[in-house]
Amino acid sequence: MLPLKYIRQNAELVRQGMAHKGIETERLDQILSLDEELRAKIAHTETLKAQRNRVTQTIAQLKREGGEAQDKITSMAELSREIKEIDQGIQILQEQLHTHLLWVPNIPHSTVPVGSDASANRLVSTEGELVTHSFAVQDHLELLTALQLVDFEAGGRIAGRGFPLYTGKGARLERALINFMLDLHTQERNYTEIFPPFVATRQTTELTGQLPKLEEDMYVTTVDDLFLIPTAEVPLTGIYQGQVLSEGDLPLRYAAYSACFRREAGSYGKETRGLLRVHQFNKVELVKYVHPDASYDELETLRVDAEEVLKRLGLTYRILELCTGDLSFAAAKCYDLEVYAPAGEQWLEVSSCSNYEAFQARRGNIKFRRKDTGKLDYVHTLNGSGLATPRLLAAILETYQQADGTVVVPEALVPYYGEETLKPA
């Protein structure tokens, strides 16, 4: 969340940032108008309260001196009623402002390329050679079926379309991927493993920026008003809401596996074949709480940590720096990692590594105490997928398929999967 004072003092910068993210700025005008009205009411009620205090003192003096104070008492009662009405109006304005502020996005960092959509994203680098095969390749859905790794029909009978059922070797391979990534991040990259709840309160989901903007894309248990998490970013970022950390605690780095749930309302007509777009999927998430002075250095190391998974698996990938129009609501800067899937000659996003600066911390009131001054300041939060498994599995199958219909298991996964080859039944 952007501070109201910052918006007031930097209205045109905020307006430009919203426009660059493709977000209408009408709400900004409403905020500025409500803010002006609120400050006027606060000033008026403070004047009235000062006047009431003077009347109270006069009444006390009259009573001490034996004078008549009834007129003053009546006057004070009228002042109190007026102050109460104004205070009620102030509360209403504050609630309206808070609601509007939740819809104001984070402002893109000055280094982010300006553009309206993904076509303006900047290619940072491509790692590895584009894989080609000397035989007629199968796409990942054909391979999933031939190898009997996922039963989409059974998943559909259980929960509906978009809920894959991993079976036998597929379930074991999925578990191998998750364990491999968790071990890499916790044993070699200095992250602390967390196994979080897969539901979160409205307050927790709001602090990360999913709510209110993305509510229609989320699954919610209406009785308890708990949201099925779309990513472990939500519970991991919610760990310290309302807490004060010491400067010496920073940075804090967490890695967590979770199932992720996304309704993806309005995404009909997009690519839904196989595992490319599903409503439930598995992901290892990385979240950092860092010192504001170090957050952009930490973004670069976060990206390197996510890249390491792709390097260990021997997959070709590329790094994109997202333009303003492709940034998420809460992000100030973001890199996407896309892995190459040779069957369709396409790039599949498997990670987004984002710096939210203090945007989420303000929503969640997550602060640290500076050693030199003892003053409180907001931490910066970052997160990145490390990685999501569905498209990662698709790329592995398409990259390592053989002419005889088998798939070679990447060397880094063999100790976790237990075999070197996936074979048709």
Give the pLDDT of residue 56: 87
Give the pLDDT of residue 271: 61
CATH number belonging to domain 4-101:
1.10.287.40
Q: Percentage of the chain surpassing pLDDT 70?
A: 98
Cα gap 82→48, rounded to integer Å? 8
| 10-17 average pLDDT score | 97
Q: Write down the catalytic residue from 352, 362, 363, 398.
A: 352
Cα gap 101→302, rounded to integer Å? 29
Give the pLDDT of residue 64: 83
Q: Write down the catalytic residue from 52, 189, 253, 262.
A: 262
Same fold, 4-101 and 118-422: no
pLDDT band at 202 (very low <50, low <70, confident <90, very high): very high
End-to-end Cα, the chain, rounded Å: 53
Q: Where do the DSSP E strands lie in 332-389?
A: 333-341, 346-355, 367-369, 376-378, 380-388
| 369-388 average pLDDT score | 97
Give the pLDDT of residue 187: 98
Give the pLDDT of residue 270: 46
pLDDT digits (tens, 9 = 90+) for 167-194: 999 999 999 999 999 999 999 999 999 9
pLDDT band at 267 (very low <50, low <70, confident <90, very high): low
Give the pLDDT of residue 67: 81
- Strand 192-194, strand 252-261: pairing: parallel
Our answer to whether residue 370 is catalytic in this structure is no
Our answer to whether residue 349 is catalytic in this structure is yes
Q: What is the largest CA-CA distance in the chain?
A: 109
pLDDT band at 62 (very low <50, low <70, confident <90, very high): confident
pLDDT digits (tens, 9 = 90+) for 302-344: 999 999 999 999 999 999 999 999 999 999 999 999 999 999 9
**Residue 380: pLDDT over 80:** yes
Give the pLDDT of residue 73: 83
Peptide bond into 230 cis (omega under 30): no
pLDDT band at 61 (very low <50, low <70, confident <90, very high): confident
| Residue environment code for 369-380, b if the CB has 16+ CB neighbours within 10 A, otherwise e | eeeeeeeeebbb
Containing 283, the helix (H) or strand (E) segment is: strand 280-290
Q: Which residue has the higher pLDDT, 393 or 68?
A: 393
Give the pLDDT of residue 71: 86
Domain parsing of the chain, residue ranges = 4-101, 118-422
| Lowest mean pLDDT, pick from 135-149, 192-206, 269-283, 325-339 | 269-283
| 60-75 average pLDDT score | 84
Q: Write down the catalytic residue from 8, 15, 202, 277.
A: 277
Our answer to whether residue 318 is catalytic in this structure is no
At the second CATH level, the architecture of 118-422 is 2-Layer Sandwich (3.30)
**Residue 49: pLDDT over 50:** yes
Q: Write down the catalytic residue from 52, 189, 362, 391.
A: 391
How many of the other CB atoms lie within 10 Å of CB of 95?
Answer: 10
DSSP, residue by residue, 213-266? TTGGGS-EETTTTEEEPSSTHHHHHTTTTT-EEEGGG--EEEEEEEEEE---TT
Q: Percentage of the chain surpassing pLDDT 90?
A: 92
Give the pLDDT of residue 272: 67
| 259-277 average pLDDT score | 76
